[in-house]
Structure 1
């Protein structure tokens, strides 16, 4: 049998933290290995427990979720952790900062439990997860900050179809939505996404979204 995904839950509200842990621990393929109420404790516990996924709140005492995410999943971290940010602040500046800090996914706390569980499983596989509505709101609110940091390279190594897929990813579209729009299979979409990430040397879909907007590939 495959070992369950090890999850660390970090939220400063005890009732919320307990609720999340209860939902997660009820799944046979998921296991809560630790709980904490601030970002510093999350960093310390993650170092000892080595969870597969850290479910992280944003606004917390001692060390907020953004800094904790940067310490756990930042580009300079030797062994980055997979962090799924779950918060009520869908339009907060912290959302964009958390993604820049290295978070692999972002969900709102009012998302149904099945979306939370799907998010944990998705992030655990090494993929990234962005709530489509959050992506659209985030880009709309911070478009001027996100783009354009640099023009797109003239020799961008993407085919026209790959560029089309990248633009749809940046619009917050899921694989199933992209498949429907382009009239191709979801497996084909997954292949395109993998090629895009490899060609642009990006870690995941989160970085693909930021790349597209920072290089003016979408409007």
Structure 2
């Protein structure tokens, strides 16, 4: 700890709490806030799930940290539904979202049903979701506590979307990124460089179109 407790010159600048615009696309890292609820019959172990004592609903409380770009280090909080006594819809929505997160994180197209892709969509437990990084679309919804607007994340960008291919983290189009670590499937491996063309041919090549998220 800094002994100069009364000197705030080296303190970090405060962050803005303005809403991130709806539709913003950004890479995030998800962290599950343990709720202490387990149901081994459903595969919910490790205390990651949270149960609402009033409604009986079970969900994951997730904190998302934006890792790159204009809103780097900003946080978004939202829940992923696992079970509701009202019916299967909420839990099914949660399963669909988790599938998309795995697709985004592990670079899988939604219609890829190869044995390798199917295995990549399987998890050993909820702990496997903790710490995943993926490309997300930021949304805005009403906070049920005070009816104010708040950011949320309900949609993962997968390789099926053009935004996944063009994302560079800086708000503009960029050359293909270098090969990514296994847990960052949203980054694209570098394309093999084509043989250099004569100068007169290069000048006739049309400019690269800016991805839709950067327009």
Identify the structure with the greater helix proportion: 1
Normalising by structure 1, we get a TM-score of 0.25
More strand by share: 2
Which structure's CA Rg is the greater one?
2
Provide the TM-score with structure 2 as the length reference. 0.26
